[in-house]
Structures are given as structure tokens and as C-alpha cells.
A and B are shown apart, each in its own frame.
Chain A
Amino acid sequence: MVSVQGATVTYAATPALKDVSIDVAKGEFLTLLGPSGSGKTTLLNAIAGIVPLTQGLILIDGTDVTHVPLNLRGLGMVFQNYALMPHLTVFENVAFPLRVRGLPSATIRQKVSKALDLVRLTGLDQRRPRQLSGGQQQRVSLARAIVYEPKVILMDEPLGALDKQLREEMQVEIRHLHVVLGTTIIYVTHDQEEALSMSTNIALVSEGVIHESGAPHDIYFKPRSRFAASFVGTSNLLSGTYEKSEGKWATVSVNGNARIRGVAHDKLSPGDPVSIMFRPEAVEITQGTPLSQDLNVIDGDVFDHFLQGATWKTIVAVGDADRVIVQRLAQSTSQVPRNTKVRLAWHPDNTHLLTR
């Protein structure tokens, strides 16, 4: 549906986007996830036609739109600060894209009320934007983006200005709209939880390039880079040296003596420096010997232990400088006081070797 090929955007000699290529399939919900200043918004604006490409191509539905002005690309867009016209009523705001397309007013009335129903704003059509709450304004903005049934809707941190509770509510709503309408959505956010819970696909953007892309599940459980591992969710990263591969697992020596097994994704030769990555919720704290010989085991001292909502978070000092974070459901774990000697155990399948 949308294809970006070798897109480069240079602002005053500094590249904001470096040779980025990505394909977005029809009906996909792609999230461009990255820290601020990573280039994710620039990429979205380039697709919208707000920012011109210095180099590269943008295709929408197979047509090259690289030089098509933004008003003729036929996209829908939702902005972080809603960007509603303050002098128009809710009805007229939503009707705006239909009016510029010269539709008859009976059709406009019908389409606008359908869009307002979809975003659950029925009955507020004569209000002005400033009479609405932030969440309601963003719903108007959503209705305005879907009302003319564009093939692709772009969303630039649409929930960034809302408080946490409202944000979670709107996430559900946007997911619902995506399912109901089947539209292709390209969504920009710096919030990894939002990206994980909403998207069918995530592209990790950093320093003007796409680092890694894939389904949320894969990005979370099988990251291929340190950046992905540390930016999405909390990760334990320990550096070590690759030794050998046996069966489906590779062995890495960590801190000189401990042997950790995990899944390698790249070709490695003995002696290569690697990082091993495993999630805090994959680790179990034992004070005796592990149950299975297959498990990875490492010993350490409890550095800190505290309740974080539904989970206990335990930070364990391992070796000289490394810390391992363990997260277990609060109900299933007993308390571990500080400075207790503990043994950490986790499965090699949940361990990944990262080289970049």
C-alpha cells in the first residue's frame, strides 16, 4: 500500500533520514517507534508530503507520489495537537475534507454523522473544538481523518497530549477503528507500550534509519539489536564471548567463568564479542539448585527488591559490575531481603545473542 524506497531527507546539511526503505502492506498497522529526534516524524511527514525528500521515492498504492503535492495524495492524518479549525464546529471540522472534495451536502451530512458515531461523538456536532476535552478533540480529529475513507491514515503521536488513563482508552479505540475500517495505518510514537499493544508491525527508528522491524511479539521476544532490546521493554544485557554452538543453542562465557546458553541469530566464530539478552520476567530466583539441567544459571547478591504494581522487581548484582533485573508476579513470589545470596535461572530459549 505504501512503499518508501531509499528515502533521504536532509535539513541544512544534517540528514534527518538516511536511505530509509520500508513497505507497508494493505490493512497493516505499522508503528514507527523511536526516541525523539530519531527521524520517525520526518519519515511520516515525508509520506504525507509535508517534508520533501532530498532523495528516494514514495509510492502509494503503486503510484509514485514523490512529487505529488500533499493535498492530492488522498491521505488521512491525525496530529498530536489535534490541529482542529478553531472557528468551525465539530460538524464542519469533520465535513472539511468532504467540502474541499465538493461532495453534495446530503452525502456530507450522512458521512459526517457516520464518522462521528464511529468515534462515539454523537450529538456534539454543533460544539466548537475549545468546548471539548482533549480526548474529545482527538476523536474529532480521528473522525476528520476517516470521514473520506482514505486508503492510508497517518497518525503523529495522536495520544501524546493526553493523560495515561485517557491514552489507554484511546488506544483501544484506535485499534477498534483499525479493525472495523481495515484501513492501513502508519502510526508514530515514542511510547513502546503503545507500539506493542496497537501495531501489527513495528519499525524501530533511530538516528534517521530503521534499525529493525517486525511483529510486536518478535521485536519484544526476539530482538536482533541492542537498541531494540533496550528501547522496547526492559532487558538484561550481559556482555560475553562466544564459544561454540551445540544443537540449537550457542554457549557464551560471561565474566570469565559462567557459561550461558542462548539462541544465536547471526553467524559467529569463537572469540567474537556478543551481548546476551533476556527479559526480567523470564528469570526465576532460586536459593537451591535449579530443577532442570537445561537452565542457564548465574549467582549473585540481591541489591534491591521492591514492589512495582503487580510485580516484584528484584535487582541482583552479578559479577563485578553487572546487574540483572528480575520481575515476577507479586502473588507468586516471596520477599527476598537485600544482600541475600541468590541463584538466578532462566531458559536458553529465552536468551538471545546480539551482535549489533
Chain B
Amino acid sequence: MSETISWPLKITACLVLFFLVVPSFVVVPMSFSDSREMMFPPRGFSLMLYREYFAGPEWIAATLESTVVAAGAMILSVVAGVPAAYAIVRSRFPGIHLVRAMVMMPMLVPTVVSALGLYLYFARVGISGTTSAIILGHAIHNLPFVVLVVIAGMRQMNVNIEIAAQVLGASRMRTFFSVVLPPLMPSIVAAALFSFLLSFDEVVIAWFLTSPRALTLPIKMYSSIQWEVSPVLAAISTLLTLLSLVVCVVSLLLRKGEIST
């Protein structure tokens, strides 16, 4: 395929890629600096900033909080999203388009708007500022992404296999768990990883729903940059980038496995 792409196009593509990626990677060399100031190019080399991050109890607390929130949001969005995707692809009742639109809504409504709505709603219910509130907020926010990824996986599955399973004696539940879910696992894992990642560095919703009791990592980073530009942020950003990279590679590998089956 590479034969058919002309050189000017290749160069343009590389430039665009460079433009998109470089800002994220500028922080990587900076994170290994031995200076207390953020500067590029960095002078010297040390792991000082990483030590500072791992030794700072408030950083670790925020990281743990983010992990709990992301894991919670991931579980909720997958548990709700997988059956929703199955229903959207397979059921034929007249209102299914409406259901689909509702499920996709969080992706279409501006995040600020849904964040504000969630803030007002959770305040009324009396759970604002808690970890559960952020988990719920993120689960709603992530749901459409999970549903989209799982729908894409479902589309490759042959409905006749499910019908065959039922004719051969399996109930609908049994069919779902032993015929639909196993081949869908790569898509589900990919969706779960994305959900985790989306939640882990989500700022807007977390900002509205957070409190000193439940401070997620991105919020902690953002508030720390307002007082002093701490070079630790470069180390944390590098670690976050690494996490994203790992998730992307893992989900790519899963997709590859899925296509080859």
C-alpha cells in the first residue's frame, strides 16, 4: 500500500503527526531535568522529579483517588454499556432508535453543560463532593464510548450463531453469556481500557463534582499549576502519557486478535 502514496503526501502526513505529537513529548525530556524550573531544553539529567512525585503524599492520594474513580466508572460503564450495545444492535422494537439517541446523548451535550447538570442534581440528592458522585458522573460520560466500541465489535458477529444457539436449546441468557460475550471479549476489554483512561484524566466533570475530600489527579495538577508551576507536573504528565500509550497498544493488539479470528 505504501507504494501508492506519493512523497509530498507522506511528508505532509509526517508534519501533521509531528505537530500533533510533539507538544505531548516536550514534557518527556523536561521530566528528567535536575532543575527546579520548567525549561526546555532541560539541563542535566536526574530522576528528582519522579522521586518528588512518588514521595509526595498528596500526589499519591490524588493518584489513588483517580484510580478508584476510573475503576469505578469503568466497571459501571461496561456493565451498563455492553448490554445496551447488544440491545441496540439486536433488538427490533420500534423505540430502539430513541434508546440509542439517549445512550449517545452524553457525547453530544457539551461536557460543561452535563457537568453543571450533574453538579446541581448531585447537590440536590446530597452526594456532591463524594467519590461516588465523580464515579457516577464519569460513568455517564464514558457510556457512549463504551457502547460505540462494543457496537463495532457486535457488528462483526453473525446473528445466526445466536439463533442457532437458541434453536439448539440455549435460553436467551445462556446465549448471551456463552455465545455473545466470549467472542466480544476483545472489544469489551478495549472499551473498558478506554473508559478507564477517559475517566483517569477527565477534568471538566471532576472539577464540578470534586471537593477537598475527593481530589483526582488532573484536578490536583490543575490547581497546583495555579499557585506555582511545579516541575513535578512534567514527571506526572510523562507517566500519564505512558499509561495512554500502553492502553492504546493493548487495545490495538486486541483489535488485531479480533480481526484474525
> A residues bordering B, Cβ < 8 Å?
48-50, 69-77, 79, 81, 83-87, 96-97, 100-101, 130, 144-145, 148, 154
Complex-state Cα separation, A76 to B100, whole angstroms? 35
Could you tell me if A100 and B183 are in contact, using CB atoms closer than 8 angstroms?
no
- Beta-carbon contact of B171 and A71 below 8 Å: yes
Q: Is the CB of B158 within 8 A of A81?
A: yes
| Whole-angstrom CA separation of A50 from B261 in the bound complex | 27
Shortest distance in angstroms between A158's beta carbon and chain B's nearest beta carbon?
A: 12
Query: Complex Cα distance A260/B92, Å?
Result: 57
- Set A87, A130, A148, A154: member contacting B169, Cβ < 8 A: A148
> Is B160 part of the contact surface with A, judged by Cβ < 8 Å?
yes
Q: Which residue of A lies closest to B159 (CB)?
A: A83
Docked Cα-Cα span, A75 to B169, in Å, equals: 8
Contact B174 A50 (CB under 8 A): no
B168 close to chain A: CB less than 8 A: yes
Are A79 and B168 interface neighbours, CB within 8 A? no
Interface centre among A76, A83, A101, A154 (most CB of B within 10 A): A83
Near A by CB (< 8 A), chain B positions 136-184 give: 158, 160-161, 163-172, 174, 178-179, 182-183
Q: When the two chains form their complex, are residues A77 and B168 in contact, meaning their CB atoms are under 8 A apart?
A: yes
A210 to B91, CA, bound (A): 31
- Chain B contact residue count (CB 8 A cutoff): 19
User: Are B169 and A83 in touch, CB under 8 angstroms?
Assistant: no
CB proximity to A under 8 Å, residues B92-106: none
Interchain nearest-CB distance for A96 vs B (Å): 6
Contacts of B166 in A (CB 8 A): 69-71
18 A-B pairs in the complex with CB atoms less than 8 angstroms apart: A71-B166, A71-B167, A71-B169, A71-B172, A74-B169, A77-B164, A77-B167, A79-B160, A79-B164, A81-B160, A83-B158, A83-B163, A83-B164, A87-B182, A96-B165, A100-B168, A130-B261, A148-B169
Q: How far is the CB of B188 from chain A (nearest CB, A)?
A: 13
Output the least CB separation between A273 and chain B (Å). 46
Which chain A residues lie closer than 8 Å to B170 at the CB level? 71, 96, 100
Q: Is the CB of B161 within 8 A of A85?
A: yes
Residues of B contacting A144 in the complex (Cβ-Cβ under 8 angstroms) = 168
Given contacts A71-B168, A83-B163, A97-B168, 5 further A-B contacts (CB under 8 A): A75-B167, A83-B158, A87-B183, A144-B168, A148-B168
How far, in angstroms, from A72 to B172 measured CA to CA in the complex? Answer: 11
| Given A81-B160, A100-B174, also A86-B183 (CB < 8 A) | yes
* CB of A269, distance to nearest CB on chain B (Å): 51
Considering the chains assembled together, what is the distance between the CA atoms of A100 and B172 in angstroms?
12
Interface string of B237-261 (1 = CB under 8 A from A): 0000000000000000000000001
Residue of A nearest to B161 (CB): A83
Complex Cα spacing A73 to B168, Å:
9
How far, in angstroms, from A101 to B171 measured CA to CA in the complex?
11
**Chain A nearest CB: distance from B185 CB in Å?**
8
B224 to chain A, nearest CB (A): 47
Specify which chain B residues have a CB less than 8 angstroms from the CB of A73 in the assembled complex: 167
User: Min CB distance, A83 to chain B, in Å?
Assistant: 4
The answer to whether A50 and B167 have CB atoms under 8 Å apart is: yes
Closest 5 CB pairs of A and B: A83-B164, A97-B168, A83-B160, A77-B167, A87-B182
In the complex, A74 Cα to B167 Cα: how many Å? 7
A96 to B172, CA, bound (A): 14
Residue of B nearest to A78 (CB): B164
Q: How far is the CA of A100 from the CA of B175 in the complex (A)?
A: 10
Interface centre among A77, A87, A101, by most chain B C-beta atoms within 10 angstroms, is A87
Q: Given the complex of chains A and B, what is the CA–CA distance between A50 and B165 in angstroms?
A: 12
Residue of B nearest to A45 (CB): B163
> In the complex, A75 Cα to B160 Cα: how many Å?
15
Q: How far is the CA of A84 from the CA of B161 in the complex (A)?
A: 6
- Give B256 Cβ to nearest chain A Cβ, in Å: 15
A106 to chain B, nearest CB (A): 20
Residues in B neighbouring A76, C-beta threshold 8 A? 167-168
A49 surroundings in chain B (CB, below 8 A): 167
Q: Most B CB atoms within 10 A — which of A50, A75, A100, A130?
A: A100
A77 neighbours in B (Cβ, 8 Å): 164, 167-168
